[in-house]
Amino acid sequence: MRACAWPCAHVYWTRVGHGWGWNRARKVKDKELDTREQRLKLRPRGKPYWRSVGPSLHVGYRRLKNRDGTWSVRHYLGEGKYTIDAIGAADDISDANDDTVLTWWQAVDEAREHGASRAQNPNDASPLTVRQAVESHIAERDARETRRRGRPIRSDAHRLERYVTGREQRGKRKVIAAAKLADVALHDLTKKELSKWRAGLPQAMKATAKQRLVNDLKSALNSATDANRNPMLPAVIKEGLKAPNGHDDETATELRENQILTSVQLDQALRATQTFDAENGWDGDLYRLVAVLAATGARLSQVKRMRVGHVQREASRLMVPTSRKGKGKKIASTPVPVGKDVLELLLPATTGRSSDATLLERWRKRQVAGNKWERDTRGPWDATNELDRPWRDIRKQAKLSDEIVPYSLRHTSIVRGLQALLPVQLVARLHDTSVAMIEKHYTRWIAHGLEDMAAKAVVSLLPQKPSKVVVLR
């Protein structure tokens, strides 16, 4: 058999019957990828354009709109198996830097080095899949929550098992089949596949629950992308998991509007909490927690980390620990002004206690003989759902709708700041969130506040008729 001298390594001159002919059974349609001008003529699509650069080795190019394309390498392993790995971005718009942005020839060199490495380590050649990314994310979340609480914790990231990776039968728990998305390699992942997965979620699932699930998957995929240096995948993830026509975002905004407490409703909720606390032997622990949530507008995950030293009575403020959400360095805490009534309420929790002791605690109970429960030890509030059960009774006693949840206290605090005509930047800082999130979900109250400010600036401009009133001296 004689190899073809053409650039395509998979076209062979071989014997056909009693003579010689072209064997095109293994032909790969190569594309001109050498220059950016040639690449920009290609139609944008999810699958790469491939070009052979050696035996069983191809360089792929994925075309993007108004962005740099990306290079990948495909290495054939035999028996129908191959791997695809990211190399870096193409120099379509950005200039090559010989690291993350590569020219065609730099991508070829990188691919050949990669092929040689794969040949030496054939057992390390499996492409990363969505399943592996999700499983790694779940394990990381479990480890993080375990470190925070000092005991083994099963994080809420396990909800991805039900809708992505599936799970085995355990006891009475039925087996759940994995989604088709689970076995897709990350380098083959397309916006269409992600959109199809999102569209297949149960219609009865609440918008907020659906968004939490989507955020978990997005976090898992983005973490895997960071580890594998695929510059194109973040855009695919963002577009593929975006809510169609903003439907879910509109629903979330509507929920927030229904969850804002008026001053009368807030007073009813606090009075009901105080009564429930006294009648059920909480010793003020529940009332103090709800009062701090209402006064600061902080998340429960932040408030439960507050220390005694965070109460600064002289400055009439509480130092609220910043959220662990997001990336990068953040300040340790945010000063939030509160009234003297809140400071007085916290006095029993601060008197005679160390400054680094947990500010808000509650009693833990244990079961004893006779199927009874008795107090055991005091400790900080733990899981965020610990407030759910007492809140249902509080809500019923205060005659509030079922849509009012503990998080409504945060929404109400944000709106209260906007109605007081505080700058949006200040409201965002006090509540440890971004201006973009405030503008996205609280536009209605921003508009009302700006309208009030504009009304105060109105003056009479038109000439007035002379008055006929005679002023008596």
Counts of helices then strands in the chain (DSSP H, E): 18, 13
Rounded CA-CA distance 90/72 in Å is: 10
Q: Are strands 317-321 and 57-62 parallel, antiparallel or unpaired?
A: unpaired
Q: In the chain, how long is the greatest CA-to-CA distance? A: 130
Confidence at residue 23, expressed as pLDDT on a 0 to 100 scale: 39
Contact 83, 121 (CB under 8 A): no
pLDDT at 232 over 90: no
pLDDT at 22 over 60: no
pLDDT at 6 over 80: no
Rounded CA-CA distance 287/290 in Å is: 5
Question: Where is pLDDT greater, at 440 or 459?
Answer: 440
Please give the full DSSP string across 411-458, using - where no structure is assigned.
Answer: HHHHHHHHHTT--HHHHHHHTT--HHHHHHH-HHHHHHHHHHHHHHT-
Computed over every residue of the chain, the mean pLDDT equals 79
pLDDT at 83 over 80: no
β-partners of residue 364 are: 377
Confidence at residue 410, expressed as pLDDT on a 0 to 100 scale: 93
Q: State the average pLDDT over residues 180-197.
A: 87
Q: State the average pLDDT over residues 14-43.
A: 59
Which of 145-149, 248-252, 462-466 is predicted with the least confidence, judged by mean pLDDT?
A: 248-252
3-state helix, strand, coil in the chain (%, to 5): 45, 15, 35
**SS3 assignment, position 81:** strand
First to last CA, the chain: 122
Residue 319 burial class via C-beta count within 10 angstroms: exposed 0-12, middle 13-18, buried 19 and up: middle
Kindly indicate the confidence band of residue 331, based on its pLDDT and cuts at 50, 70 and 90: low
Q: How many CB atoms lie within 10 A of CB 18?
A: 5
To the question of pTM greater than 0.85 for the whole model, the response is no
Return the ∠ at Cα 193 (arms to 191 and 198), rounded to 5°. 95
Q: How many CB atoms lie within 10 A of CB 178?
A: 16
pLDDT at 420 over 70: yes
Rounded CA-CA distance 203/38 in Å is: 45
